[in-house]
Amino acid sequence: MHPAFSVIFLTTLIGVGQGLFLALYTGQLYALANLLPAQSSNFYAVGSMVSLALLFAGLIASFFHLGHPERAWRAATQWRTSWLSREVLALPAAMGLIFLYGTVHFFDLTKPLFVISGTLPVDFSLIIGGLGTLAVFGLFLCTAMIYASLRFIKAWYSPLTVANFLFLGIASGFMLAAAFSAYQGTSLVGFYGTWAVIATLFGLLTRVATLYRNGQFRCKVDLKSAVGVHHSQLEQKAQGFMGGSFNTREFFHGRSQRLLNLIRYAFLLMVFVVPVILILLAYALESETLPLLAFGIQYLGLILERYHFFTEAQHPQNLYYQSMA
């Protein structure tokens, strides 16, 4: 498939935004259980706004993929069947809840509403955060299922696609949370950094499994089945037109195998190896800037990762364009 930068930025930016929100809420839960020092409401409020800004940037990026963005509101109507429609609903839902979560913290509306069994004080932020977490996981599922539900594109048609979107989003979000707390001078760098490393390692596991899987399988449909001529020597002589067409532009990446190999090694290094080393170094050196660098490199790596994700996918329609393939 031809990688579209609008979609690459959409999926990576909202991934980071969602992960960051999960990091904030996780931190709040830990603080509630007295496992972490409680943070100022400003920390949560600013963090939520950063998360919201990332989701908004993703939303803007997605519009560049549309031929008619002014009709984008229509895209919410087919939620019964289309994962794209479901994403269009889940994204504003998550954004709204994250906005509310940030607002509640900003105005310090965190007085307990009631206390469960005398130990667990429940306030607005806890409830909204819980709902936000559900929305965020739902959004991860919707975004990934847009690709994982296409049964003809075998490289994507796998639960691993969902796992990758989830783990890489969480990893980059927690990485940003670590950078954010380092920048704010709070004591949560170690906590967020640890979870970022754990999520990154899970992501490494599923992404390498995907690469291995995609290197192994063969498509069950071949040119014989596509044309219906069951002869072992079948060769395309003409594709029916001399210039390009939508089919030859949309479904071919036109990049050399060499470049793709380079991108693969680059993203494996930039998403999984370098950030982990940097965050460990940051922990050892108590550095304030290294977590930020770790996040920056991981995010650039994620752009390459998504680029590779698209070029990896072989569309069965390419069978009809043997002279291109």
Partner 1 sequence: MTQLALVIDLNVCVGCHACVTSCKEWNTSGWAGPMTDLRPYDADPTGVFFNRVQTYEAGVFPNTETYHFPKSCLHCEDPPCVPVCPTGASYKREDNGVVLVDYDKCIGCKYCSWACPYGVREFDEQQKVMKKCTLCIDRVTDMTLPESERKPACVLACPTSARIYGDIHDPDSDVSVAIREQGGYPLQPEWGTKPSNHYLPRRKTRIQIHEDELVRVDNPLKKEELPTLPEAGETLDDVAW
CB 94, min distance to partner 1, A: 17
Question: Residue 240 region, left (φ>0) first, then alpha (ψ -120 to 50), else beta?
Answer: left
254 interacts with partner 1 by CB under 8 A: no
Q: How far is CA 86 from CA 69, 83, 146, 203, 205, in A?
A: 17, 5, 9, 24, 28
Cβ(143)–Cβ(11) below 8 Å: yes
CB 268, min distance to partner 1, A: 26
Span near partner 1 by CB under 8 A; candidates 150-158, 179-187, 270-278, 284-292: 150-158
CB 75, min distance to partner 1, A: 4
Of 201-220, binders to partner 1 (CB under 8 A) are 220
Q: Report the residue from 53, 74, 201, 289 that binds partner 1 according to the rule CB under 8 A.
A: 74
Query: Per the structure block, which two tokens stand in for 21?
Result: 């929100």
Span near partner 1 by CB under 8 A; candidates 9-17, 51-59, 142-150, 282-290: 142-150
Residue with Cβ nearer partner 1 (152 or 212): 152
Question: Residues in the chain, how many?
Answer: 325
CB 107, min distance to partner 1, A: 36
Q: Report the residue from 110, 239, 260, 280 that binds partner 1 according to the rule CB under 8 A.
A: 239
Q: Report the residue from 75, 198, 269, 274 that binds partner 1 according to the rule CB under 8 A.
A: 75
236 interacts with partner 1 by CB under 8 A: yes
Tracing tokens 């709902």 back to the chain, one arrives at 131
Residue with Cβ nearer partner 1 (300 or 324): 324
Cβ(48)–Cβ(99) below 8 Å: yes
CB 87, min distance to partner 1, A: 8
Provide the 10 A C-beta neighbour count for residue 285. 10
Neighbour-count burial of 46, counting CB atoms closer than 10 A to its CB (0-12 exposed, 13-18 middle, 19+ buried): middle
9 interacts with partner 1 by CB under 8 A: no
Q: Report the residue from 103, 184, 214, 247 that binds partner 1 according to the rule CB under 8 A.
A: 247
The SS3 call for residue 115 is strand
Provide the 10 A C-beta neighbour count for residue 123. 17
Residue with Cβ nearer partner 1 (146 or 177): 146
- Spatial CB neighbours of 281, under 8 Å, sequence gap ≥ 6: 287, 290
Cα 172 from chain centroid (whole Å):
9
Residue with Cβ nearer partner 1 (74 or 213): 74
165 interacts with partner 1 by CB under 8 A: no
Query: What is Dmax (Cα atoms) for the chain?
Result: 78
Q: Report the residue from 35, 72, 201, 277 that binds partner 1 according to the rule CB under 8 A.
A: 72
Residue 285: what are its φ and ψ, rounded to 5°? -90, -5
Cβ(236)–Cβ(319) below 8 Å: no
Q: Write the interaction track for partner 1 spanning residues 52-71; mark x where CB under 8 A is met and - where it is not.
A: -------------xxxxx-x
225 interacts with partner 1 by CB under 8 A: yes
Span near partner 1 by CB under 8 A; candidates 34-42, 99-107, 274-282, 310-318: 310-318
Rounded Cα gap, residues 126 and 147, in angstroms: 32
Neighbour-count burial of 143, counting CB atoms closer than 10 A to its CB (0-12 exposed, 13-18 middle, 19+ buried): buried
Interface contacts to partner 1, rule CB under 8 A: 1, 65-69, 71-72, 74-78, 81-85, 88, 146, 149-153, 220-221, 223, 225-247, 250-251, 315-318, 320-321
